[in-house]
Structure 1
Amino acid sequence: MATQKRAVQGLNSAAAAGLGLLAGALTALAVQRHRIDSLRVRIEHLEEAAQTQQHTNLATQQRLHWELLSKAIDNPELAEVLDVFERSLSPQKRRQFLFANALYTNQLFAYRVGNISREEFFGFVRGLLQNPIVRDYWRAGQHQRATMADESDEAKLGRMVDELLRQLEEADIDEWWVVGEPPAE
């Protein structure tokens, strides 16, 4: 009987020790889980801050872009600096091209910061391309777009606009607003 009591006490001690180890392990896991959750939340906040900073940088860049273009539009001597087209342009045509660039770039930035969808960008450009000056501007800038990194947003959107312009020129209908398929996001 004494042997059985000691065996039971031994088992109880082992069970208690096992339960203690289990409780310790569970506590350690709970602490680890809390740390992981805290790190996840911190990473999410850092990602949001980085995205906010990127949007701020894009907005600043857009404002600077517009200021530079405005100066060039208002001053023919400054506009000559931005004449990177392969043909000679009159001062009037150069100002028109600079303004077309400002309109396009404004929509590009709006897309990049998430203010408009790709479909909305497409619709805006489809309307913009109804103007022969904008079409001429787009064709004149083809060699510049060819230098962009293929996977950049601007290069992808540029190829989309190239295709849309081709479709608009080949369309045999007056209802330009139905030409082309808005791209999938």
Structure 2
Amino acid sequence: MATQRFGVRGLGAVATAAAGMAAGALVTMAAQRHALGTLRVRLEHLERTAHSQQHTNLANQQRLHWELLSKAIDDPELAEVLDLFEAPVSTKQRRQYLYANALYTNALFYYRIGNISREEFFGYIRGILQNPVVREYWYATRHQRATIADGSDEAELGRMVDELLTQLEESDADEWWVVGEPPSQ
């Protein structure tokens, strides 16, 4: 009589099937890990591209801003369009204020694209505030800055400049370059 070994042969088939399923799961997991890695690299590339596009957009905006201000500085009739100051100003003052605006806006754009830190922005502004025309410009545009969205970089930096200007005017120190507390990063 022949002995039948169904149990051993059945277990061997189950073990082989289980090993095959485990191997298949490992291959699937490896493929998924590779796909996720590829997606992560692609996402990082897209984020860098978006960041680069934002810098390009800001640079283009800065160029356009300068072109418009240059036209207004060169042409008193065009400058009248930008005369939004609190008190009437002479043609000379208007041109000076427009140039002060260009200096400030340039620093603001440099900060926004990461070319300078907040501390460097602070130091630059502290320097240009030594000029009385720049101070007059800052006061003359106070109401315009009041319309800037409260949580924006521009509003925060504007408040920082306001505080610095107050500190500079209240200081009796001859060493203006040490007045004010540079912001922490």
Counterpart residue number, 2:46:
46
List per-residue Cα deviations over 1:18-40 (Å, max 9, x = no partner).
11111111111111111111111
Counterpart residue number, 1:130:
130
C-alpha separation between the residues in 2 aligned to 1:20 and 1:138? 75
* Residue identity opposite 2:56 in structure 1: T
Counterpart residue number, 1:26:
26
Q: Shift of the alpha carbon at 1:10?
A: 2.4
List per-residue Cα deviations over 1:44-92 (Å, max 9, x = no partner).
1111111111111111111111111111111111111000011100001
Counterpart residue number, 1:14:
14
Instruction: Summarize the alignment of residues 94-109 of structure 1 with structure 2, pairs less than 5 Å apart.
Output: 94-109=94-109
C-alpha separation between the residues in 1 aligned to 2:183 and 2:83? 32
Counterpart residue number, 2:55:
55
Q: Shift of the alpha carbon at 1:8?
A: 3.0
* Residue identity opposite 1:80 in structure 2: E
2:42 counterpart SS class? helix
* Unaligned stretches of 5+ residues in structure 1: none
C-alpha RMSD of the superposition: 1.4
C-alpha separation between the residues in 1 aligned to 2:156 and 2:60? 23
2:88 counterpart SS class? coil
If the length of structure 1 is used for normalisation, what is the TM-score?
A: 0.94
Residues paired across the two proteins, number? 184
1:183 counterpart SS class? coil
* Unaligned stretches of 5+ residues in structure 2: none
Counterpart residue number, 1:143:
143
* Residue identity opposite 2:96 in structure 1: Q
Counterpart residue number, 2:71:
71
List per-residue Cα deviations over 1:137-177 (Å, max 9, x = no partner).
11111111111111111111111111111111111211111
Q: Shift of the alpha carbon at 1:6?
A: 3.6
Counterpart residue number, 1:159:
159
1:155 counterpart SS class? helix
C-alpha separation between the residues in 2 aligned to 1:12 and 1:142? 85
C-alpha separation between the residues in 2 aligned to 1:8 and 1:120? 78
C-alpha separation between the residues in 1 aligned to 2:178 and 2:7? 87
C-alpha separation between the residues in 1 aligned to 2:159 and 2:6? 84
* Residue identity opposite 1:106 in structure 2: N
If the length of structure 2 is used for normalisation, what is the TM-score?
A: 0.94
List per-residue Cα deviations over 1:88-135 (Å, max 9, x = no partner).
000011101000000111111111111111111110000011111111
Percentage of pairs with the same residue: 69
